[in-house]
Structure 1
């Protein structure tokens, strides 16, 4: 089961990367891991470095993909982004979310600037 969900997660991240690229963003990196956190996608939107969290839910039985991003998850993403920025400085950055709902990824929602690193 773990292997299957891991594979599905990577597939959804690749789907999100292609989808965002079609909308003008440029992929910088993917699956950047630090102790205590992982950055799914790092992209550029003009001069802005964008940390993208990709979430998928095949069913809304336990909430939507967007609802799965808790405050604790946000803190882990902020910590990982801070570590990334130590070796890759950027003047501007933001946190986006790509929420994919449906077994066949029928609904893709892109939330720009989904939360702040406050």
Structure 2
């Protein structure tokens, strides 16, 4: 891949990034084990492949949970009390909650 294409390539959405981690963890047992043992380091390493220097906020706890076959987990994100005017406009303008959370976390991670 050329250097120009590498840096002009569109970044994935947070959902696409997360799905990529899950797919890789299903295919690569050593990656899965490392993700379970040291999730923050693995996520930051993978983020760094997309955008040099990308880091998670220091106060963000990163957990990876292995879902048993007989369970269904539904993760509901907390909505911050500190909505930016831009995000507030987007939410009130009809953006669904998933789109909001993706944009919120991309901004938090410095990917948007």
Q: TM-score, normalised by structure 2?
A: 0.31
Q: Identify, as 1 or 2, the structure richer in helix.
A: 2
More strand by share: 1
Larger C-alpha radius of gyration, 1 or 2? 2
- Of structures 1 and 2, the one scoring higher in RCO (CA 8 A, sep 6+) is 2
**Normalised TM-score (structure 1):** 0.30
